[in-house]
Amino acid sequence: MFEVAIGLGVILVLVILLLLFRVQSLLNVARGSDKKIESTSNRVNGALMLLFFIAAMIAFFWYSISAYDDYSLPVASDHGILTDKMFWITTIITGIVFVLAHALLFYFSFRYQYKESNKALFYPDNHKLEIAWTIIPAIVLTLLVGYGLKVWTQITADPPSEAEVVEVMGYQFAWRVRYPGKDGELGDYDYQLIDAVNEFGMDFTDKDSFDDFVPSEIHVPKGQPVLLKIRARDVLHSVFLPHFRVKMDAVPGMPTRFWFVPNKSTEEMRQETGNPDFNYEMACTEICGRGHFSMRLILVVDEPEDYKKWYDSQEPFLSQNPSYLSKVPEKLLDLASIASGIDNKN
């Protein structure tokens, strides 16, 4: 409400100044002096433009500083720190240029207002100026793009061999995740095998699928690399983990990936934010249909020992759905039974 009151006050001041200007203009018309109308109009407009710029800059920086904590998002991954650093470097450089350029623009409107005594300077061409305002921005932009490319290459490089693997699948309108189980290898899949229960289309002719499990939420260990193997089942979706600065499209028929290292557990973030109900979440940032808003999945960052306990406690998909043992080749039934913990003799 306080910000609204300030905004209404600024509008009221501008309206009053406009009315005063109109009254002065009408008085000049009544006196029959066109010259006075012209000179007064230029003077008032030039002064108002300068005042507007000063007031706008004060309001902008005041609001940016006072509201920063309300709109800033804590970062919870190693590469997120790099991403934020790149963002702020770009913002500061472009922000300085923006302020200087507009300061000159508004100042020139005031300083060089029309007067009969003023004569405009005209340059048919000026090679030095043209070279300066071409080369300098080109160098700055090249440095910014080069730095951004370096960061992007770093965060999209091959993941470490010890990275925890999580398969993420988007479909209308939810996320599902699959873990590779104790063998550390995700099993194969086939879209033709997808049904109401086997949502991933897991292929049980591949022995690596026998211990894969499908939890209702994502768990990842703090301080360890996590590789997301991403795909979509129907239309284009987009994996977005805002606190980790992770964003990658989920494309039908074209698996993508992204890896990151979470550096704050869920409990640590709850303490930092002062919100005991805080949870990390995965959202979809691709408008994928009417139910787009419902694509939300909780992500939990555990301490390494807690993550191991959670991981070891998960039941394989086959264990929860023993009817799918019929999809396993007969020669692999014993192996499937051991991996899933099912007694196939019954």
**pTM, entire model:** 0.76
Residue 7's pLDDT is 67
The per-residue pLDDT for range 184-230, each reduced to its tens digit, is: 899 999 989 999 899 999 999 999 999 999 999 999 999 999 999 99
User: What are the extents of the domains in the chain?
Assistant: 1-72, 80-114+125-157, 164-340
The per-residue pLDDT for range 97-130, each reduced to its tens digit, is 999 999 998 888 888 777 767 676 777 788 888 8
Dist. CA 224–CA 165, nearest whole Å: 11
Biggest distance spanned by C-alpha atoms of the chain: 110
Q: What is the pLDDT of residues 126-170, one digit of tens each?
A: 888 889 889 998 999 999 999 889 888 888 888 998 999 999 999
Residue 36: what pLDDT? 44
Which CATH class, in words, describes the domain spanning 164-340? mainly beta
Provide the pLDDT confidence category of residue 40 given band limits of 50, 70 and 90.
Answer: low
Winning range, highest mean pLDDT, from 28-32, 122-126, 309-313: 309-313
Q: Are 194 and 201 in contact (CB under 8 A)?
A: yes
Residue 220's contacts (CB-CB under 8 Å, 6 or more residues apart) are 164, 166, 226, 262, 299, 300, 301, 302, 307
